[in-house]
Chains A and B, each alone.
Chain A
Amino acid sequence: MSATEKLLLVLVLGLAPALFALAVFALSFNRAERLGFCASCHTMTPWVADLKNPNSASLASKHYRNRWIVTNQCYTCHVNYEFMGPINAKLDGMRHVIAYYTGIGMPQGAIKIYEPFPNGNCLRCHGAAQNFNHSPTHAAVMQQVRANQLSCTVCHQSIHTPQG
Chain B
Amino acid sequence: MSKLIQWALIANALGFLLAIPCLLDTTPITMVVFFLVSLPLFGIGFLLYLAAVVRDLRSHQVL
User: Could you tell me which A residues sit within 8 Å of B by CB distance?
Assistant: 1, 9, 12-14, 17-18, 20-21, 23-25, 27-28, 31-32, 37, 40-41, 90, 93-94, 96-98
Contacts and interface: CB of A to CB of B under 8 A. Distances in A.
B32 interface: yes
A12 B9 contact: yes
A90 B32 CA distance: 10
Contacts of A97: 28-29, 31-32
Contacts of B9: 12-13
B35 A17 contact: no
B23 to A, nearest CB: 5
Nearest to B15: A17
Nearest to B56: A1
A94 B31 CA distance: 7
Contacts of B8: 13
24 contacts: A9-B5, A9-B49, A12-B9, A12-B12, A13-B5, A13-B49, A17-B12, A17-B45, A17-B46, A18-B42, A18-B46, A20-B16, A21-B19, A21-B42, A24-B34, A24-B38, A25-B39, A27-B26, A32-B31, A37-B27, A37-B28, A40-B27, A94-B32, A97-B28
Number of chain B interface residues as a range: 20 to 34
A17 B16 contact: yes
Nearest to B26: A31
Contact of B19 (A12, A20, A90): A20
B28 A28 contact: no
